[in-house]
Amino acid sequence: MRRDNYPHQDTIVSMTEPTLHHVACDDAQGGHRMAYWQWGDAGSAHVVVCVHGLTRQGRDFDLLAQAIVERAGGDVRVVCPDVVGRGRSDWLRDPSFYQVPVYAADMVALLAHLHREQPIGTLDYIGTSMGGLIGFVLAGHKELPLARPIRRFVANDVGPTIEPIALQRIGAYVGKNGSFESVQAAADAMWALSTTFGPHTPQQWLALSRHMVVPAAERTADGSAKLEANGGGSGEGRWLLHYDPAIGIALRAITPEAAAQGGAIMWSLYDAIETRTLLTRGAESDLLSRETALAMTQRGPRAKLVEFEGVGHAPTFVDPAQIAVVTGFLFD
């Protein structure tokens, strides 16, 4: 189902704004479009893909993407997709398919599309939370038709084992938020649920939040049912969260048995990764335990672990010190 009525844009904009593009992806219901934001040189053979967490979107990486472009002297293409059901991407007709295997297949389609546009010579991957799980599939599944193997992989505050308390916390709010009178009101409401992200100035948080909402009037392509699901009524003068509320259905359906099975699969994928890997963790994270993080330094790719004090789940890569860790890893 089409998420909104934004047109396809391939506009060249300033150095402080990315360009918006779309790629066609297959699914069992007739296909969908995934949006992605692109920074840097579209002709560069060095591609860095940045994939967000469960309820987030690709503009989360604005500051990190700009820092990567600067560190590379402009010779890099940074691609930040809106995973299906989020941001400017379509919504799925069947919400039961909001699952990591579908997201990973979409990333394979995206990489093939990018490779057709300009052959990829070097591929790096950064994934926060859900984006990191997608990365485990891309880096650990040896049969995927990737144009290039991932050279360097950053897993941000996620591991093969997800702590149940975090799933319960996230499941309690995903898809249950209403509409807002302004972007600032939405930012305030989201901050109440996101203090685990660590210290942010009001300006930093507002910058992260402004891409998390859309005017309710632009949700009409999905029909009134979507507006009602978000508590929007007529939608006049209101702002709604950017994502399909149904993404929470699959999350809340996870049983302890399913979580254990999924963890075993993820550990198998992680153990197969040969890519040089950096694991970043909020020192107070409730999703990635320190026990799991330490295990990840001892098996599979033996990830280098960097922890950020005063941060839970998950580091946002807005703080210059966090950004420096990632750019240093990519370019040292």
Instruction: Tell me the per-residue pLDDT of 178-200, one tens digit each, with 9 for 90 and over.
Output: 789 999 999 999 999 899 999 99
**Structural domain harbouring 224:** 176-242
Q: Which of 322, 265, 264, 312 is nearest to 289 (CA)?
A: 312
Same domain, 42 and 159: yes
Average pLDDT over residues 164-177: 87
Burial 23-58, CB ≥16 within 10 A → b, else e: bebebeeeebbbbbbbbbbeebbbbbbbbbbbbbbb
Same domain, 128 and 59: yes
Same domain, 203 and 319: no
Domain-embedded: residue 12: no
Q: What is the pLDDT of residue 15?
A: 60
Same domain, 188 and 157: no
Residue finishing a domain among 192, 207, 242: 242
Domain-embedded: residue 139: yes
Confidence of residue 11 (pLDDT cuts 50, 70, 90): very low
Domain-embedded: residue 13: no
Task: Tell me the CA end-to-end span of the chain in Å, nearest whole number.
Answer: 43
Confidence of residue 95 (pLDDT cuts 50, 70, 90): very high
Average pLDDT over residues 124-135: 98
- Following DSSP, what letter does each residue of 239-289 receive, concatenated? EEESS-TTHHHHHHT--HHHHHHHHHHHHHHHHT--SEEEEEEETT-SSS-
The mean pLDDT of the chain is: 90
Same domain, 45 and 119: yes
Copy the structure tokens of residue 183: 């972007």
Is the per-residue pLDDT at 13 higher than 90?
no
Q: How many domains does the chain have?
A: 2
Average pLDDT over residues 287-316: 98
Residue finishing a domain among 242, 261, 294: 242
More confident residue, 177 or 207: 207
Same domain, 111 and 219: no
Domain-embedded: residue 130: yes
Length of the chain: 332
Q: What is the pLDDT of residue 211?
A: 95
Q: What is the pLDDT of residue 33?
A: 97
Peptide bond into 314 cis (omega under 30): yes
Q: What is the pLDDT of residue 268?
A: 98
Q: Which of 258, 254, 252, 217 is nearest to 238 (CA)?
A: 217
Same domain, 181 and 112: no
Q: Phi and psi dihedrals of 297, rounded to 5?
A: -85, -10
Q: What tens digit of pLDDT does each residue of 276-288 get? A: 999 999 999 999 9
Average pLDDT over residues 205-211: 95
Same domain, 196 and 158: no
**What gap in Å lies between CA 22 and CA 82, rounded to an integer?**
10
Predicted TM-score of the model (pTM): 0.91
Same domain, 251 and 227: no
Q: Phi and psi dihedrals of 158, rounded to 5?
A: -155, 150
**What gap in Å lies between CA 139 and CA 151, rounded to an integer?**
9
Q: Rounded to an integer, what is the distance from CA 196 to the centroid of its chain?
A: 17
Domain-embedded: residue 10: no
Q: What tens digit of pLDDT does each residue of 113-124 get? A: 999 999 999 999
Is the per-residue pLDDT at 35 higher than 50?
yes
Same domain, 284 and 198: no
Q: What is the pLDDT of residue 251?
A: 86
Q: What is the pLDDT of residue 177?
A: 67
Burial 81-109, CB ≥16 within 10 A → b, else e: bbbbbbbbbbbbeebebbebebbbbbbbe
Domain-embedded: residue 8: no
> Which CATH number covers residue 253?
3.40.50.1820
Same domain, 69 and 158: yes
More confident residue, 172 or 163: 163
Is the per-residue pLDDT at 307 higher than 60?
yes
Q: Are the C-beta atoms of residues 278 and 145 closer than 8 Å to each other? A: no
Confidence of residue 262 (pLDDT cuts 50, 70, 90): very high
Same domain, 149 and 206: no
Residues whose CB is less than 8 angstroms from the CB of residue 168 and which lie 6 or more positions away in sequence, other chains included: none
Residue finishing a domain among 210, 242, 274: 242
The proportion of the chain whose per-residue pLDDT surpasses 70, expressed as a percent, equals 89
Domain-embedded: residue 55: yes
Domain-embedded: residue 6: no
> Which residue, chain included where needed, has tokens 């919400």?
95
**What gap in Å lies between CA 156 and CA 271, rounded to an integer?**
17
Which regions of the chain does DSSP assign to beta strands (E)?
A: 19-25, 32-40, 46-51, 77-82, 122-128, 150-156, 213-215, 239-241, 276-282, 304-308
